[in-house]
């Protein structure tokens, strides 16, 4: 299909939409697909216009498989996708479908066995048949760069270790580099950033990113097809930097652990770099052979922690900056950063929802809108009220700064604010007196208890005071 005229293009695109309505839940379809227009079809590229880059990112992250399959089915199997993002009404920015544009490895001379004409089908999905020398797809996503990975005390150590590895892959003591954390805190992003940086600094190195689940599937298939030797050869001969994401999936998978062990030893002995992620530290991993665990502990293990509020704010700002097209009031940014404290993935989810709702309903982005969405749409509708958020709201109410609140000042308003935030922290969170004291300027638990009693007393004798406390509480829980 080349240069289809507008009407015909619309018809064909409508056909895609029809198929997509069957695969994608109705509400989601309405949010993400009803505002897309097919603009043109040229040189095998289908251009879709989307309202903001959030659409593009969201669609790429959540629906690319369904969308890609449908487009190839309707427009032809060689069709590729490009997005056009509306910057102003007259201005469009073009983006490639990231999931299909990879950071490319240079072609490699294939090992003899893989060049053997008796092998009809090349055994590994990363090898593009018919091309010799063979090219290994790195599977790296372009936008997961160091540049886009905000630094905070939660990730400083892991980030700088990763950065060091990228400068000198295989040549530092950080081999393997193992990064661990619960879900949604940036492991996948960080290991991509390392891979991308290596490709930038050492273009001759062949980098491969692979999810452990995919690695397992490949191995199982090679056993079924009797091609395990080729599988092993591929990893041992072709790869300079091997990134395996979510190694915990190998738990209790003896066969895959064995082959991983062999690949690991081989690559390590040749000074190739291994980068691995896991949802917990090796010491806490169960269902693994001891010899595998011991390998994982060889190099450096670095943890990613939940970012503090300032880092969360910086991450939101970076996202907005990358989007280039949206203005969001600081108080909304702060609200999101304070109230979504589970993981960065959830934080991004909340941000994307707020953007989408503002765009769809053509409303301004306000704190009320954000609140509504955080309550309704963020998975953690068990939204936890944090001590920091309480402090922030109390400070706003009394018009004082956080520094003043945490200082040793004995000024009337500041003392009152400090007492009320301790009282509300005790009432509205599950935190212990010790934890509250710690967050409220390193006070001991007796001081917190004293503050709570003093607020209760004041509420009983002073109507205005009680009203203030009730007002603040309402603002916090609403
Ligand atoms: P994990 O692999 O630990 O589950 P991801 O790497 O998938 O986490 O991160 C979840 C989301 O949060 C991704 O969209 C990622 O880009 C974003 N993210 C994580 N850490 C940061 C950071 N430090 N700066 C900016 N974005 C981040
Ligand atoms: Mg991940």
Query: What is the distance in A from the centroid of ligand 1 to the CA of 242?
Result: 20
pLDDT, tens digit (0-9, with 9 covering 90-100), for 388-402: 889 999 999 999 999
Query: What is the distance in A from the centroid of ligand 1 to the CA of 281?
Result: 18
Mean pLDDT confidence for 395-421? 92
Mean pLDDT confidence for 452-460? 92
Q: Is the CB of 184 under 6 A from ligand 1?
A: yes
Q: Considering the chain, what percentage of its residues have pLDDT values greater than 70?
A: 86
Q: Is the CB of 155 under 6 A from ligand 1?
A: yes
Nearest bound ligand to the CA of residue 280 = 1
Q: Work out the pLDDT band at 104, boundaries 50, 70, 90.
A: low
pLDDT, tens digit (0-9, with 9 covering 90-100), for 246-297: 999 999 999 999 999 999 999 999 999 999 999 999 999 999 999 999 999 9
pLDDT higher than threshold 70 for residue 109? no
Query: What is the distance in A from the centroid of ligand 2 to the CA of 416?
Result: 44
Contact predicate 84/47, CB 8 Å: yes
Average pLDDT over the chain, rounded to an integer: 85
Label residues 107-136 b or e (16+ Cβ within 10 Å = b): ebebeeebeeeeeeebbbebbeeeeeebbb
Q: Is the CB of 183 under 6 A from ligand 1?
A: yes
Query: What is the distance in A from the centroid of ligand 1 to the CA of 343?
Result: 9
Ordered structural domains, the chain, with CATH: 6-98 (3.30.300.180), 156-303 (3.40.50.300), 309-377 (1.10.8.60), 389-477 (1.10.1750.10)
Query: What is the distance in A from the centroid of ligand 2 to the CA of 245?
Result: 7
* Sign of the alpha-carbon torsion through 95, 97, 98, 104: negative
* Ramachandran class of 43: left when φ > 0, alpha when ψ lies in -120 to 50, beta otherwise: left
Q: Is the CB of 370 under 6 A from ligand 1?
A: no
pLDDT higher than threshold 90 for residue 181? yes
Q: Is the CB of 72 under 6 A from ligand 1?
A: no
Mutate-to-test residue for ligand 1 from 345, 351, 379, highest number of ligand atoms within 8 A of CB? 345
Please name which of 416, 410, 418 lies closest in space to residue 436, comparing C-alpha atoms.
418
Q: Is the CB of 188 under 6 A from ligand 1?
A: yes
The residue whose C-alpha atom lies closest to atom 19 belonging to ligand 1 is 186
Cβ count within 10 A of residue 403? 9
Q: Is the CB of 187 under 6 A from ligand 1?
A: yes
Q: Considering the chain, what percentage of its residues have pLDDT values greater than 90?
A: 50
């Amino acid at each position: 299909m080349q240069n289809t005229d507008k009407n015909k293009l619309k018809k064909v695109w409508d056909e895609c939409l029809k198929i997509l309505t069957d695969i994608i839940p109705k509400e989601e379809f309405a949010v993400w697909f009803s505002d897309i227009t097919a603009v043109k079809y040229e040189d095998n590229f289908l251009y879709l216009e989307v309202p903001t880059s959030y659409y593009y990112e969201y669609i790429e992250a959540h629906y690319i498989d369904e969308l890609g399959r449908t487009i190839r089915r309707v427009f032809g199997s060689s069709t590729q996708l490009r997005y056009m993002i509306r910057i102003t009404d007259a201005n469009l920015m073009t983006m490639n479908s990231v999931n299909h544009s990879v950071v490319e490895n240079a072609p490699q001379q294939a090992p003899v066995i893989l060049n053997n004409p008796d092998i009809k089908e090349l055994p590994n999905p990363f090898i593009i048949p018919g091309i010799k020398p063979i090219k290994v797809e790195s599977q790296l996503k372009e936008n997961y760069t160091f540049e886009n990975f905000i630094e905070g005390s939660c990730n400083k150590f892991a980030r700088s270790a990763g950065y060091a590895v990228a400068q000198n892959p295989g040549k530092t003591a950080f081999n393997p580099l193992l990064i661990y954390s619960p879900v949604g805190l940036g492991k996948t992003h960080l290991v991509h950033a390392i891979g991308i940086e290596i490709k930038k600094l050492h273009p001759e190195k062949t980098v491969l990113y692979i999810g452990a689940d995919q690695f397992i599937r490949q191995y199982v298939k090679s056993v079924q097809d009797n091609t395990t030797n080729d599988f092993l050869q591929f990893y041992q001969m072709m790869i300079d930097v091997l990134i395996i994401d979510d190694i915990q999936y190998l738990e209790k998978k003896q066969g895959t652990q064995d082959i991983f062990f062999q690949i690991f030893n081989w690559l390590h002995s040749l000074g190739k770099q291994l980068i691995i992620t896991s949802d917990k530290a090796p010491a806490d991993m169960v269902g693994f052979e001891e010899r595998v665990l011991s390998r994982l502990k060889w190099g450096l293990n670095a943890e990613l922690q939940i970012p503090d509020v300032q880092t969360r704010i910086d991450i939101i700002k970076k996202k907005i900056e990358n989007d280039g097209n949206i203005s969001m009031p600081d108080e909304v940014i702060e609200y999101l950063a304070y109230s979504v404290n589970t993981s960065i993935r959830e934080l991004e989810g909340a941000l994307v929802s707020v953007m989408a709702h503002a765009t769809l309903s053509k409303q301004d982005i306000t704190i009320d809108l954000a609140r509504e969405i955080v309550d309704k749409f963020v998975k953690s509708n068990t939204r936890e009220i944090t001590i920091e958020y309480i402090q922030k709201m109390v400070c706003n109410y009394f018009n004082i700064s956080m520094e003043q609140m945490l200082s040793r000042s004995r000024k009337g308003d500041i003392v009152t604010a400090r007492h009320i935030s301790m009282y509300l922290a005790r009432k509205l969170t599950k935190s212990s007196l010790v934890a509250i004291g710690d967050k409220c300027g390193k006070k001991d638990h007796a001081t917190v208890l004293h503050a709570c009693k003093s607020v209760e007393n004041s509420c009983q004798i002073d109507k205005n005071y009680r009203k203030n406390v009730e007002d603040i509480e309402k603002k916090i829980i609403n």
